[in-house]
Amino acid sequence: MAQDFSYEIVEEIAVLSENTQGWRKEFNLVSWNGRPPKFDLRDWSADHEKMGKGITLTNEEFEILSKAIKSM
């Protein structure tokens, strides 16, 4: 049985790409089920009503990833 969940895009940080159907790979700050927002990377439909699978990162995980990218 499917679980209900809620989300709120707190801040739209960046659109990384867009496909021909209008879906965009976005990096956002998202609050899931009323919890504190996390960094989120996933595909979204243009109206943000549908989403693909993605990853979420805590502030600490984002800091580590950011340092790793900067050191490349």
**Domain positions in the chain:** 7-71
Q: Which of 54, 21, 24, 50 is nearest to 39 (CA)?
A: 54
Q: Which two tokens stand for residue 11?
A: 């801040």
pLDDT by 10s per residue, the chain, length 72: 557 889 999 999 999 999 999 999 999 999 999 999 999 999 999 999 999 999 999 999 999 999 999 999
pTM score over 0.85: yes
Q: Can you give the pLDDT at residue 26?
A: 98
Q: What is the CA radius of gyration of the chain?
A: 13
CATH topology of domain 7-71: Transcriptional Co-activator pc4; Chain A (2.30.31)
